[in-house]
Amino acid sequence: MKRLLALTGFLLLARPASAESYEEHDYLLNCAGCHRMDGSGSRAVPSLRGMRELSEMPGARAYWVRVPGAAQAPLTDARLAALMNWLVERFAGQKPSPAYTAEEVNRLRSTPLRDPIARRNEMRRAASHQRWRLHRE
Amino acid sequence: MSRLDRWFEGVARQSARRVSRRSWLSRFGGVLVGGAALPLLPVARAAEKHRVGEDGVKGREGDPTRCEYWRHCAIDGFLCSCCGGSHTACPPGTEMSPVTWIGTCRNPADGKDYIISYNDCCGKTFCGRCICNRNEGERPLYHWYRNNDINWCGGARAQTYSCSTAVLVKAAKEAQPEK
């Protein structure tokens, strides 16, 4: 029995190390073409470094999954959730808390944004209004 | 007169006595035509098949100036390696587009899949040499970032397409399309 428990413990510990991680692979094939390898974007595509500014705003978590590039990526919900966790940590500077799950990603990507730029401007306006109210109080 | 000049004169006079001009011309022509036809011989083609080229790949699949080059598996355009640049660098006077489409190709030397970035070179009129249209793993226009019919020079300062490169990014975890 002891031996069986030890073996189970060993297998549980060994599992994360042997699990394939696809985050960088998925980023290169699904995001880097337009956002570039370092996420800096170009004249035509926004920089992913802007995620840091958005991370403080309410609604950013849902916004990042609902933008067309993420919502329509040919990835399973689980792979997209893992990619989003990797992406947010890399470009917004901190891990999403709680981490995205496949269920949450499935729910969010089912309503992709029709006008991501308008939504981003709306979030910025709301954040600036909130700051103004706090300043007055 | 130097000894070398005397020797040449002697050889020239001797050949003029022995060989007629027509005979010389016919032999010289034979050498020219024969030399040009050598690569058409099966021997030369067999040798090409075994020549190790780029990335340790044999034959045409290892030659970046050929459409059959392994990294060109998903390309659609003129090869920059025939246009004054290379498969990783743009020809002079053009700019590499910062946005691009990215796919995977299998390296026949090690049987592994690699991520390849097909950056277009922009700013001069289209090159017109070495057209290559393979499109493996390409997706229809509704998956626009997996489509190579788009003018990817849209992200560059000048939008005129000239030719395409095939830059190796890193080893892929799996071939496209994703599971």
- Taking only residues 33 to 72 of chain A, the set having a beta carbon closer than 8 angstroms to any beta carbon of chain B reads 33-34, 36-37, 42-45, 69
pLDDT at position A54 over 50: yes
Q: Tokens 């689980």 identify what position?
A: A78
| Annotation marks residue B5 as catalytic | no
Q: Phi/psi of residue B109, each to 5°?
A: -70, -40
- Taking only residues 82 to 101 of chain A, the set having a beta carbon closer than 8 angstroms to any beta carbon of chain B reads none
So where are chain A's domains? 21-136
Q: What is the mean pLDDT of residues A124-131?
A: 85
pLDDT at position A126 over 60: yes
Looking at this predicted complex, what is its ipTM?
0.78
- CATH class belonging to A21-136: mainly alpha
**pLDDT tens across B119-173, in order?**
999 999 999 999 999 888 777 877 777 787 888 898 888 999 999 999 999 999 9
Structure letter (DSSP) for residue B127: -
Q: Phi/psi of residue A38, each to 5°?
A: -95, 5
**pLDDT tens across A8-26, in order?**
555 444 444 445 789 999 9
| Annotation marks residue B120 as catalytic | yes
Out of A28, A36, A79, name the one closest to residue B98 (CB).
A36
**Given this model, what pLDDT does residue A129 score?**
83
Kindly provide the b/e burial profile for residues B131-144, where b requires at least 16 CB atoms within 10 angstroms of the residue's own CB.
Answer: ebebeebbbeeeeb
CA-wise closest residue to B114 among B70, B149, B147, B79: B70
Which chain A residues contact residue B179 at CB under 8 A?
76
**Given this model, what pLDDT does residue B178 score?**
57
**Given this model, what pLDDT does residue B45 score?**
66
Average the pLDDT over each of A5-9, A60-64, B147-151 and give the range with the smallest value.
A5-9
Cβ proximity of B164 and B79 under 8 Å? yes
- Quote the pTM value: 0.76
Q: What percent of chain B has pLDDT over 70?
A: 93
Which chain B residues contact residue A37 at CB under 8 A?
169
Q: What is the mean pLDDT of residues B59-65?
A: 90
**Given this model, what pLDDT does residue A127 score?**
86
Q: What is the mean pLDDT of residues B32-60?
A: 76
Average the pLDDT over each of A61-65, A131-135, B73-77 and give the range with the smallest value.
A131-135
pLDDT at position B118 over 60: yes
**Given this model, what pLDDT does residue A15 score?**
46
> From the candidates B120, B144, B149, B152, which is the catalytic residue?
B120
- Provide residues of B within 8 Å CB-CB of chain A: 98-104, 115, 117, 139, 143, 145-146, 154-155, 169-170, 172-174, 176-179
**Given this model, what pLDDT does residue A16 score?**
45
Mean pLDDT over the full length of chain A = 86
